[in-house]
A = this chain, B = another copy of it.
Amino acid sequence: MLPAKIPVAVLGATGVVGQRFIARLARHPRFEIAHLCASEKRIGLRLDEAAAWRLCDRGGSLPYAGLGSKRLLPADPAHAPAPVVFSALDTSVALEVEPAFARAGAMVFSNASAFRAEADVPLLVPEINAAHLELLSEQRAKRKWSGAIVCNPNCTATVLALALAPLHLAFGVEAVSLVSMQAISGAGYPGVASLDILGNVIPFIRGEEEKVGAETNKMLGRLLGGAVEHATIVFSTSCNRVAVEDGHTLAVSVRLRGAPSVDSVRAAIERWRPLQEAKLHSAPSAPLLLHSAEDRPQPRRDVETSDGMQVHVGRVRTCPLMGIQFIAMGHNAERGAAGASVLNAELALARGWLPG
């Protein structure tokens, strides 16, 4: 007999990340959507009245994933009680709402940035730092919550950190120079005005450059004595918006300890098999796909592999300044948002942090 599905609530259900949560969870083997929560003005509406369905309709993401008639509830544990909660809230709202659910006993898997920098909140990417889940003991003790908050990092930081992880493990990363070309879906909906980006590049994304380095150093840090010792990589970051729907492309130069060769770096990427437990449902076939074609990865052509959960690396070559350079690309709205939170919940389930 299959185990019963765990009921979950989705907070911020009508936004772009919220819709991706719905699409993923509606066909999930272990989770089942119990409640959809939205902001005040939408409470009581049916999901399909509250906002247009904006995902491309491929297998499984039928408009509203079959949940169009479900009524929206307040983002409040009294109205939407559930043992597991996925949060696509804006930061300012998350600051209040996520602790309320954690206090009420829910395990909150959050895409918001509100708690990412807190020392007792794991910035979790299962392939990179599954051990950081242990911070939850500390978090519960300190905050007197019966639930907890688990964050996934910023989308750009996630793609970068996954590409760096095997290099940090094999050699140690000392410095990173990063120029990003980021997709419009990273800004949510309505997000980037078409008048700003059609046929254009915007060489600035507010707040993004600061987040990337700080979050990557936390992600790549080691758990020592119940706390994360952050990595100390030096970052230079320049973030740009381009006219791409999904998929952040990163031009990366890295200085690695010992100045390994291009071949060693490629081998370290290919050998990397990070997750030891039984394969998680949303985990990609391999977390990194190393390309050999000289003009790949490309966001429009490669971003959908493994349901958007794979990060692509290509053009690994020598950099006259830093040693090694390459291109990394991954799905900002799946690997960097909705899929990330769901994968985190699957890891928490596998490690016994969830009921069921």
Contacts and interface: CB of A to CB of B under 8 A. Distances in A.
B251 A203 contact: yes
B200 A300 contact: yes
A253 interface: yes
Interface string A235-254: 11010101111000101010
Contact of A181 (B242, B298, B300, B325): B242
Contacts of A193: 189-194
A223 interface: no
A49 to B, nearest CB: 11
A270 interface: no
Nearest to A235: B320
Contacts of A192: 193-195
A58 interface: yes
A177 interface: yes
Contacts of A320: 234-236
Given A243-B243, A249-B240, A195 B189 contact: yes
Contacts of A190: 190, 193, 195-196
B242 A201 contact: yes
A225 interface: no
A83 interface: no
